[in-house]
Each structure stands twice: as C-alpha cells, then as structure tokens.
A and B are shown apart, each in its own frame.
Chain A
Amino acid sequence: MTKAAVYRTRLRPIWCPGCGNFALLDALTRRVLPALGIPSHKAFIVSGIGCSSRIPGYVDTYGFNSIHGRAVIIAQGAKLAKPELTVLAIGGDGDFFSIGAGHLPHAVRRNIDITCIMINNFVYALTKGQISPTAPHLERGEGQFLSWESYPPVDPMLDMVSYSASTGASFIGQGIATDVPHLSWLIEQGIKHKGFSFIAVLTPCINFTPPYLFNALREKASYLREGEVIKLQEAAPEDSWIHDPSDIRLALKLAQVPLLENPLLGVFFRGEEKG
C-alpha cells in the first residue's frame, strides 16, 4: 500500500510561504498518487521552467525538470515509448500558453494519454513579476501589480480553458489552489481519463499580483456539477444551463464566460476516451 509520505522527497521547496504550488504538491503526494495507488516508479512528472516546474524535485516519482515550454512534448515522447507509465506534464501559464503554446493543439489532436496541469499564477514569477499571457488586462492604476504599476498589461489575456475547448481537448478541467480536495479529485479524473487531459489551476501569485485578484477569484468561484444548474452572474433565470460535461457545445459556451467575473471550477468537458 502506498502512503502519503512515500511520495515526498527530502528536498525543501523554493516556493514562497503561502504559494499555491504547495496545494498542488499536497494534492499529488497526499491524495492523488496514494488514492490511485500509483507506485513511485510508475509515475513520470515532466515540467518546464518556472516556479511550479520545480515540482518534480519534491515528488518521489520519476521526474524531469526540462526546458521552458517543452514539458508537454517530452511527456508525450515518454508516454509513447512506455505506455504503462502515468505521465504528468506540469508547468505554468508562461510554459503552456506562451513559449509552449504551439505544442498544445498538437497534443490535443494526438490525444495521447497524458495529464497536463497548468498552474496559472497570472504572471512570470520566477523572473520577478513580468506580464504573462494570462495576466489580466487592467485599467491603469488599478491594483498593486508591483512591476505593472507603470506599465500595466495592454493585451487581453489568453483564456486557457477557452483555448482548450476550441482546440477540442478530450478532458478539460479547472481547479483552484485553495480547494485541495476538489483539485485532487479533478486531477484524479484527468489521470483516469484515457486521452489528453488539460487541467488549469487558478492560483494568482502571492507576490506579484494584487491580493484582491486571488480574493476575487475565490469569492466569485462556483462549482460545475453534473446535472445541476450552472451559476452564472449575468444569466437570466430562463436561460439557465444544466451542466453536462459530455456536451462540447456547452463547454464552448462556458469557455466564453469571463474568468475574472465568473470563475468556474470543475470538469468543463469530458469527451470520448481512447479505445
């Protein structure tokens, strides 16, 4: 029987106290891996470069802290060569949606059975606060975005869930670092899903984004539950949506819901599995 302690290495994380990456580490080592009973040697975690990409060093499975943007590629190479492995690709928003964005549609269309976890901290944090593709577009003077004070983001943010849905990923989910049990459940679902799974984790950087961003996300967040009405801020009661994760049209509509105003957590879409 696999136990939680089995999955932690002796390395001390470099992350700041209170960082959402600890939530992912906890989810993986205390819940997901033990719950699924995946032995250390059967799991392979490939990461890119960035804060969250340090995670392989802290999880006692096979691990590779590789190249910025290339985790999802290296993960596919390993899975193709050794299908019995459980392969996770972990990285940040810069990794997956800036430097490595070109690889995602191809990972999606190949639908190789790997689980891709994107830690969305809305910023380049390891390099001390530069604007990332998921950084919210703000009016000048709004919030305390350290290095963004003088030069706030001018381009609209890239919504990763919307992107995944539009490219037809076979499993799309979104969790939040403040709810580890839900995040763990989501990752388990992703790993169990036979095909390419994309999971975004909302966790604004506690150093380089204004505190209100995380607070707002947490307060406004609502959960998607199969068969239940989806809570939408703007929607009139008559066009309420009942959540059905197998409906890609609904997933595409949900992907259009603005993240900052109406963060949705759960399984957006679960398509057919590979035979």
Chain B
Amino acid sequence: MLGSYLQKVAAQQGYFSQMPRYYGAQIRGGGSAVKLGLDAERLSLPKDNPDILVCFNWEKYFEFELELPLGADTVVLQESDSSRENILLGEYFRVDFSKISQEVTGSSRNKNMVALGLLMGILAISNDGGGKADYQGLRMSKHHLLALEAGLDLFGQLSFPDLRLSPAEDRADKVVLHGNAVIARAAISAGCRAFFGYPITPASEIMEEMQQGLSQRGGVFLQAEDEISSAALALGASLTGVQPMSSTSGPGFDLMTESMVLASAAEIPMVIVDVQRCGPSTGIPSKTEQSDLNHAIYGGHGDASRVVIAPYDIEGCYRLVMESFDIAQYFQTPVILLSDQWLGQTLVATEYEFLTKDYPIRERKRPTGRDLGDYHRYQLTDDFISPMADVGSEGLAYRTTGLTHDESGEPAFDFKTHQWLHEKTWQKLRPLRKRDDLAVVFGKEGSNKGIIAWGSSAQVVLETVKDLGLQDEVKVCVPELIHPLPERIERFLKSTERLLVVEMNYTGQLHRYLRSQSELPEQTYTYTRPGGRPFSMKELAEPIAEITR
C-alpha cells in the first residue's frame, strides 16, 4: 500500500515509474515487498539497489533480499523497535513508524502512511514543493491522512540526506496500471465481447478486469470450472462470430492445449493469454519466468499451426493484444500471447496516450451472397483463408470437425486430404513472416554485435546496454512476433558475428527455437537461467560487455 500510494502521488506530479511486486505464498498478510523506481524524464526500470529502503521487518526483508539488494549508498529507514541490530553498510535511521501511528491514529496499522509522509518529505514530492501533496483521488481515510501528516512533520524534525527529486519534466498526470489491466483494456477496445477464465496466479487480474469491463458492455463473461472449459467455451463462442479471449498461466495453459489444437485444426479464431510464472508444475506461482515458449510454439499433439506473440513492455501489452485479435480473426487461428508475471503485475506510471490508440482489427473473411446454396467452409483460396460463416447465418449451415476434413468440412481419412489440410493451415500464416514491424531493433543496424531478448527480460537488457553506454556498439533485437518468425529477425541473426541470447529459463528455449529457424553466428552466446528473481543490470552487465569486446 505504501508503494502504491507513493507511486500514485508521484504520478500526479508527473513522475514515470515502474514498481514490480514481490510476494510469497501467503493467503493474507505475510511478507511482501515492492521496488519503486521513480523517473522524472522517461519510463525506466528501477535501479538494482534502491536509494532508499523502508523496512518494517528485517526477517521478512531477507525473504526478498535478492529482489531488493542493498547498495553501499542505500539510505535505510527502519522501524525503531526492530529487533535486529544494524548490519547495514549505508546510512540508516531508526524511525518510530508504529509508535507515531499509534499516537495519532490509535493504531500501529497506519505506520505505512507515516512512512509515506516521511518519504514525500524526503523526496520533495508535492504540489507546491512545500510538503503538501494533492491527495485528491487517492481515497485516503481520515486516519491515513493523520498518519501521513505526522510523517511529513517528522521530516522536518530529523536531518535526512538530500534526496530531493528533480521536478518531472512533464508535470502532466501519469496513469498507473499493470500489464494485466492493460491486456484486459486492450481486449475490450479490440472488440472482445466474450471472456472465459479460471482463477490462477499471476493472471487472475485479467479475468477480474474483463468481468468488470464486459458487464458494463453487455458482453459474455463466465468463470469456468477449469481451463479445459475456459478454452472450449471460447471455441463455442467464436464459432458464432464473436471475438473470444481466455487468460491463464502455465498450468492452465497445459489444460487449454486440446482446445488450442482443435482451434488450429478447425481454423477457429481464439486468443489465449499466458501470463508466465516459474514452472514446471506449480513452480513458484508468484514469480516471473519465460519458460512457456516451447509449449506455446510446439505444445499439443500433431502439427498444429498457431501464432505466438510476446510483449516486452506495457505499451506492447496494449498494442499486441490488438494485433493478436486482428491476426486471430483474419487468419482464423489460435494466437497465444505470452506475457509474464513481471509484465503482468508490475505497476507502471506512464503517459496514457498509448491506451487511446486505434488499431484496425480486420474482420473475419465471411461468405458473400454468391456462397449461398454452395458454401464450402474450407474452400481453397489463393491465400488459404476460407470464408467462415457465423453459426446462425441463414443458408450457410456447415459442419466442422477436428477430424481431417475436406473443403466442405466433411471427414476424410485419405493421405491427400490430410496433406492438403496441413498445407492450408500452415501456408495461410506465411504472410506473417513479412511483419517486420513486430520485430523491434534498437541500436545501429550496421553493427555486427547483437543481442536478442524477449518479454520483460528485454527491458533489463535495453536498460543495461544504455547504462553501460554501449548503444552504439551493440544492436538489440526484441521479437514481438515469435512464431512464425519475422524475416527481419532472420536478417538480424545473419547480420551479426557475435550474438547473445538472453532469456529467463533453464534450457534456452528461444535460443533453441532460433537455431531451428536460422543459421546463428559461430560466436553465439547465451545467458539463460530460471526465474525466481528478476534479472538485474549488474547480472547482465558482464555477458553484455563480453560480446562487445
């Protein structure tokens, strides 16, 4: 709560920020931590080591030490009744957070608001630079405000180092939201009017946002009995002509596989969002990882074609959901959008404009009047995409099936039809290889040193390259469309002599996939490890510096 309030207050003053959230398996209470990185100029990542650490409980701190490592200069504000004697490197202050809260509100529960007031004082985040912030819209209770004021007063009484923030360059309000909320908003904007889900960490917020969004718009929302059902419900809805979506995380994605494969075989548009977490199996549900790529690309039996897309930042969470719906509708295919816990749950304060952009969503190709009376659902066309009638359309009743089928949708069990069906479902996706706009390249195209990274890890790679001042030395490619692989990525790979692949999984799933798609330079290096903690810039500095040597 402390982090959220501080982020919101700062956002009102125009500061950009990102705030990843760290929590464990507790149902209620327990340890949790956030890391808030404020920036006056641009959307950046929080630094590895915080400038200020507020700690109410050291025992809990050590559960998250890897996420919040203390630096030599970290100023620590710790609860004064903390049992642990100081073991810290930097400056520290004992503050009576609980005691002050007790005094002014009659309960120690508002200690985080005391800390908020103090931090606002230290950072000089306020409307007038004089210590009073605008609390409008923050919905603070009376007790909250009392505690906050007491915290602000405290700032005047103690002598803290000068950590005042420079004013935000653009003071306009920043919007605060996380990737999961953005994905839901984008789906609604894309015209999704049917959502089916099942609760799972760290994807549940998408379902909750969709429930709210669709209830206001008269759409269809159903919390299914399992993920087998949420995907199958989406199939049924899609056949009637609506644009359906379902969201989940790894274990649920496993269960959706049979419907995904049927959607591929029977060419039914659907969008599945997988907010990846640590696997295999239950793994660490609350922590990020990028280990579902294999499943997204290859999961399921048979040669089932599909499209795999992965955003790497909050803007992409919006734009690529639009792309996913467009591609699913136009190509009549399942699209898997791979997000991750970091993207999904990190609260971001940024300019809102990206949420208002219009992206054209192409309609499904539907039968025309000429097809009446002689309609073939899987009629072969030049682009391998056949007109798809909405179930319920007059004069176009057709039967479809997961059985190998011919142009009319009738079951077939001969080699020729089977071969034809594979050609059809795979060839139709080929134009996607021309989508060079879905492969972002940073740095000098001419450089022969390249890094490739995907998903939220790409943010750390880009930030580290910047931090090391290597923007002119090395180029970075971030594939957003991963399968089919855009030709631009293949060109990127072929243009490098030294290549580094960075991803957060044990086996190097993207690296292996790229090897299967293109030649890689002889000097190809990987930096891969499983999740459990986010990449730090310090961690990536070495492998990145290495390839530029």
Contact = CB atoms under 8 A, between A and B. Distances in A.
Contacts of B398: 62-63
Interface residues of A, number: 35
A64 B400 contact: yes
Given A11-B410, A40-B397, A81 B237 contact: yes
Interface core residue of B224, B236, B258, B402 (most chain A CB under 10 Å)? B236
Interface in B193-252: 194, 196, 220, 222, 224-226, 228-229, 232-242, 244
A78 B396 contact: no
A264 to B, nearest CB: 30
Given A73-B228, A81-B220, A62 B233 contact: no
A42 interface: yes
Contacts of B196: 77
Interface in A42-66: 42, 44, 46, 56-57, 60-66
Nearest to B242: A81
Given A41-B392, A41-B394, A57-B399, A81 B262 contact: no
Contact of A41 (B235, B242, B395, B403): B395
Interface in B378-397: 390-397
A216 interface: no
Interface residues of B, number: 41
B396 A57 contact: no
A82 B391 contact: yes
B318 to A, nearest CB: 25
B291 interface: no
A75 interface: yes
B301 to A, nearest CB: 12
A85 B229 CA distance: 20
A74 B225 contact: no
Contacts of A77: 194, 196, 232-238, 244
A65 B399 contact: yes
Interface core residue of A44, A65, A67, A81 (most chain B CB under 10 Å)? A81
Given A40-B397, A41-B394, A41-B395, A70 B225 contact: no
A67 B236 contact: no
Interface core residue of A77, A82, A102 (most chain B CB under 10 Å)? A77
Given A41-B397, A63-B400, A85-B391, A106 B229 contact: yes
B401 interface: yes
Contact of B228 (A11, A57, A70): A70
B12 interface: no
B225 A102 contact: yes
B410 A70 contact: no
B396 A67 contact: no
B33 to A, nearest CB: 38
Interface of A: 9, 11, 39-42, 44, 46, 56-57, 60-67, 70, 73-82, 84-85, 102-103, 106, 110
Given A41-B397, A70-B232, A81-B236, 15 more contacts: A9-B399, A41-B396, A62-B391, A62-B392, A62-B397, A64-B239, A65-B402, A66-B235, A73-B228, A73-B236, A77-B194, A78-B240, A103-B225, A106-B224, A110-B222
23 contacts: A40-B397, A41-B392, A41-B394, A44-B392, A57-B410, A62-B391, A65-B411, A66-B235, A66-B402, A67-B232, A70-B232, A73-B233, A74-B233, A75-B236, A80-B194, A80-B220, A81-B241, A81-B242, A82-B241, A103-B225, A106-B224, A106-B229, A110-B222
